[in-house]
Amino acid sequence: MEHNTCRENLSAYLDGELPADEKLSLESHLAACADCSRELAELKKVSAVFKKNVMEPVPYSLKDAVFAPRERTVFSRWARPVAAFAAAGALLILALPTLREQKQAYSPAVFQAVATGGAAASAGPGPAAFGARRNISVPDHAGAADAAEAAGSPKYAAPSFSKKGAFAQAKFSAAARSATGAVRGSASSLAGGSDDFFGEAAGQGALAAAAKPAHSPAQPKWVNDLIRRHQQGPRGNPPYTIWQYSYKGAEVYYLPPQCCDQYSELYDAKGGLLCAPDGGMGGRGDGKCLDFYELRKNGRLVWQDARGAR
């Protein structure tokens, strides 16, 4: 492969978008060309810097901006229930293809919750359907963890939890709640809510039954710190919860996503951020631990904000 052709194709190679023959040719050239290898390494760094820094928080006012005008100007008062019902059906149709695509990651309870507009609670929080990705940038997990460790502090640095009260997201579930339960389930799927949202009413009941605000002595200090910080801060929507699982032989802590544009978070026992199992537009989190829902075991609700939802 010509040197210039190689350079032109480096970006597509990085994205896995090159045909097999061109890929082989490029790899052959890369093995012999230091300049192209260096450029590829730099493009990877560009990608990493971009991912880490490009996402901005969604303004809190967006939810109101999206739904308030519709209610005031598009639908008359008498037509609201009809429109809400129609929107629920339509949004449900909208949600199903994506749900089907990701069915391996969904528990039957989630489907049931979607279908009923909130009648089932899953054994634990599950992945979002689709919707806007969460507000914070994709973290450079290793970098952040290393920095924290070097400073002698726990790896957990509350990368987004502390922000969740300040940043709003589209909050479609909240708007939908003002219409009907069915709308709630569907609209939250559009926005990327978790199954907590699908089955909010029933789900909360189940969670409450399982919720034993736990401050176990065996619990890592960072978890207790996090709980304390939440208790002192604004409530979440859905209520903040922390789950413990066994995942790939290790103890992990799962923090379900807040509404819409957010990822969930999965931490190791030391508070190091591992990945985002779900949330975001694709409902697949950051894609680094797609097998979390298949492999997780021994789920336990560590803590739920007893104050309820915001």
Partner 1 sequence: MVYNLALRLSGNAADAQDIAQDAFLRAIRGLADFREGSAAATWLYRITVNVWKNRVRSEKRRSFWKTFSLDRDKDEESGTPVLQIASPEPPADAALEKADEKEILEKALAALHPEDRAILVMREIDGRSYEEIAVITELQLGTVKSRISRAREELRQKLGALVQDNGT
Instruction: Measure the CA–CA gap between 55 and 156, rounded to whole angstroms.
Output: 21
Q: In this chain, which of 80, 85, 94, 214 binds partner 1, going by CB under 8 A?
A: 94
Instruction: Measure the CA–CA gap between 249 and 232, rounded to whole angstroms.
Output: 33
Assess 82 for contact with partner 1 (CB under 8 A): no
Phi, psi of 255, deg, nearest 5: -115, 110
307, two tokens: 């104050």
Instruction: Measure the CA–CA gap between 164 and 280, rounded to whole angstroms.
Output: 15
Assess 46 for contact with partner 1 (CB under 8 A): yes
Nearer to partner 1, 22 or 268 (CB): 22
Assess 65 for contact with partner 1 (CB under 8 A): yes
- 219-248 binders of partner 1 (CB under 8 A): none
Instruction: Measure the CA–CA gap between 49 and 33, rounded to whole angstroms.
Output: 25
* x/- letters, 245..274, toward partner 1 (CB under 8 A): ----------------x-------------
Q: In this chain, which of 27, 28, 32, 41 binds partner 1, going by CB under 8 A?
A: 41
Nearer to partner 1, 111 or 253 (CB): 111
For residue 274, the Cα-to-chain-centroid distance in whole angstroms is: 13
> Which of these ranges, 53-61, 109-117, 211-219, 298-306, lies near partner 1 under the rule CB under 8 A?
53-61
> Which of these ranges, 84-92, 114-122, 208-216, 236-244, lies near partner 1 under the rule CB under 8 A?
84-92
Instruction: Measure the CA–CA gap between 112 and 240, rounded to whole angstroms.
Output: 23
- C-alpha dihedral sign at 196, 202, 206, 207: positive
Nearer to partner 1, 76 or 216 (CB): 76
- CA distance to 37, 68, 204, 242, per residue, from 210 (Å): 54, 36, 10, 12
Instruction: Measure the CA–CA gap between 127 and 195, rounded to whole angstroms.
Output: 7
Output the smallest distance, CB 4 to partner 1, in A: 6
How does strand 273-275 pair with strand 241-247? unpaired
- Check: CB of residue 134 under 8 Å from CB of residue 171: no
Q: In this chain, which of 23, 33, 39, 71 binds partner 1, going by CB under 8 A?
A: 39
Question: Number of residues in contact with partner 1, rule: CB under 8 A?
Answer: 57
Assess 115 for contact with partner 1 (CB under 8 A): no
Assess 215 for contact with partner 1 (CB under 8 A): no
> Which of these ranges, 10-18, 145-153, 226-234, 295-303, lies near partner 1 under the rule CB under 8 A?
10-18
Own/partner long-range contacts of 217-222 (Cβ < 8 Å, ≥24 apart)? 219/302, 220/253, 220/269, 220/270, 220/271, 221/154, 222/154, 222/156, 222/270, 222/271
Output the smallest distance, CB 220 to partner 1, in A: 30
Q: In this chain, which of 209, 287, 291, 308 binds partner 1, going by CB under 8 A?
A: 287
- Residues making contact with partner 1 (CB under 8 A): 4, 7-12, 14-15, 17, 38-39, 41-43, 45-47, 49-56, 58-59, 61-62, 65-66, 69-70, 74, 87, 90-91, 93-98, 101, 130-133, 138, 170, 190, 261, 280-282, 287
